[in-house]
């Protein structure tokens, strides 16, 4: 199955900017952005980020406030702070042997950096990869990582897989099946996440008296280190 998949990937793989580099910092930036944001939205933000902060050292020298501002619109802003902390760790101590020692880096992200940047023989398993593994019942090798991601993102879709154009269809026991959605996407409109995002946007444009802001959202942002409250004024951390 790996050979079929890799032949398909050679002709149909997505041309993504982070696939043109082996720089672990650039791969880390892309993977952290992709954790909860769609590929199309990540591409321009990734390119702008690397232009502004091309190395871990450059990002480490930035202020948290600038990093939080540059992350606006990508969502789940704690990722920005964790990426910044990770860059500071790398700038000071180098890359750790165990990449999960870096803030915000879990098993999948660590394996993705190890595989795509450092050439380690490991298969990073995200939701797309796990889905293809489960449906085909095949133990794919580490060299199939990016091909599996693309197959899961474009062909072996979660609800209605496109088996008719799948390179693995002949050997796949799940061919032709349909799947119920696992869970409804939680709504952003009217959610606490939205209130937090709105509050952070206001504070990002300028420091404000806490009385002008959503107090619950300020408290949650402060707990996460995304804002500081000082003498009744809420500001980004400097
Ligand atoms: S045949 Fe269908 S279920 Fe099997 S891997 Fe391909 S798209 Fe997924």
pLDDT at 164 over 70: yes
Phi, psi of 182 (to 5 degrees): -65, -45
- At residue 185, does pLDDT exceed 70? no
CA of 12 to the centre of ligand 1 (A): 16
How high is the pLDDT of residue 31? Answer: 96
User: Apex CA 194: angle with CA 192 and CA 195, to 5°?
Assistant: 65
Site to substitute for ligand 1 among 157, 161, 165, most atoms within 8 A of C-beta: 161
Per DSSP, 233 falls in state: E
Tell which one of 148, 169, 179 to mutate to probe ligand 1, the residue whose CB is within 8 A of the most ligand atoms.
169
DSSP bridge pairs for 81: none
2, 153, 175, best to mutate for ligand 1 pocket (most atoms within 8 Å of CB)? 175
pLDDT at 188: 80
Q: Give me the mean pLDDT over the 151-166 stretch.
A: 95
The answer on pLDDT for 190 being more than 90 is: no
Distance CA 183, CA 31 (A): 24
What tens digit of pLDDT does each residue of 125-138 get? 999 999 999 999 99
Q: Using 50, 70 and 90 to split pLDDT, how confident is the model at 36?
A: confident
pLDDT band at 206 (very low <50, low <70, confident <90, very high): very high
Give me the CATH code for the 23-116 domain, please: 1.10.340.30
Angle between helices 39-52 and 24-34 (to 10 degrees): 140
What pLDDT does 184 receive? Answer: 65
> Which tokens in the block code for residue 148?
């599996």
Over pLDDT 90: what percentage of the chain?
91
How much distance in Å is there from the Cα of 226 to the middle of ligand 1?
42
The closest-lying atom of ligand 1 relative to the alpha carbon of residue 162 is: 7
Q: What is the pTM (predicted TM-score) of this model?
A: 0.90
Closest ligand 1 atom to residue 174 Cα is 3
| CA gap 208, 236 in Å, rounded | 10
- Non-local CB neighbours of 82 within 8 Å, separated by 6+ positions: 32, 103, 104, 105
Domain spans, the chain = 23-116, 192-235
Res 141 pLDDT > 90? yes
Interatomic CA distance for residues 71 and 59, integer angstroms? 13
SS3 call for 208: strand
Point out the residues that are catalytic: 31
Q: With 70 as the cut, is the pLDDT of residue 72 above it? A: yes
Ligand 1 centroid, distance to 132 Cα (angstroms): 7
Mean per-residue pLDDT for 91-101? 96
Q: Is a pLDDT exceeding 80 seen at residue 207?
A: yes
What is the pLDDT at residue 146? Answer: 94
Nearest alpha-carbon partner for 172 in 187, 185, 161: 161
Instruction: List residues near ligand 1 (CB under 6 A).
Output: 132, 135-136, 155-156, 161-163, 166, 168-169, 172, 174-175
Instruction: Using the Cα atoms of residue 187, residue 193, residue 199 and residue 205 in order, give the sign of their dihedral.
Output: negative
- Nearest alpha carbon, ligand 1 atom 8: 156
d(CA 221, CA 41): 24
Indicate which atom in ligand 1 lies nearest the CA of residue 172. Answer: 4
Question: How far apart (Å, rounded) are the C-alpha atoms in residues 165 and 161?
Answer: 9
pLDDT band per the 50, 70, 90 thresholds, residue 186 = confident
Indicate if the pLDDT at residue 15 is higher than 90. Answer: yes
- 190, with CB counted inside 10 A (0-12, 13-18, 19+), is exposed
Judged against a pLDDT cut of 90, whether residue 180 lies above it is answered with no
Question: Averaged over 76-92, what is the pLDDT?
Answer: 96
pLDDT (mean) for 211-236: 96
């Amino acid at each position: 199955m790996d050979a079929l998949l890799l032949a398909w990937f050679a002709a149909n793989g997505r041309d993504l900017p982070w696939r043109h580099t082996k720089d672990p910092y650039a791969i880390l930036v892309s993977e952290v952005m992709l954790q909860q944001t769609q590929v199309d939205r990540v591409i321009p933000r990734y390119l702008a980020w690397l232009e502004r902060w091309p190395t871990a050292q450059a990002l480490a020298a930035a202020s948290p406030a600038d990093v939080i501002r540059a992350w606006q619109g990508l969502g789940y802003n704690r990722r920005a702070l964790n990426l910044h902390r990770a860059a500071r760790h790398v700038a000071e101590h180098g890359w750790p042997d165990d990449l999960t020692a870096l803030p915000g880096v879990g098993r999948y992200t660590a394996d993705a950096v190890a595989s795509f940047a450092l050439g380690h023989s490991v298969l990073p398993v995200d939701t797309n990869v796990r889905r293809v593994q489960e449906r085909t019942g095949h133990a794919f090798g580490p060299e199939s990582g990016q091909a599996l991601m693309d197959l899961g993102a474009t062909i072996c879709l979660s609800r209605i897989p496109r088996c008719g154009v799948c390179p693995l269809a002949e050997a796949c026991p799940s061919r032709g099946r349909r799947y119920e959605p696992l869970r409804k996407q939680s709504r952003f409109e009217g959610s606490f996440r939205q209130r937090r995002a709105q509050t952070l946007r206001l504070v990002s444009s300028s420091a404000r008296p806490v009385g002008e802001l959503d107090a619950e959202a300020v408290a949650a942002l402060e707990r996460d280190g995304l804002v500081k409250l000082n003498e009744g004024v809420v500001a980004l951390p400097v």
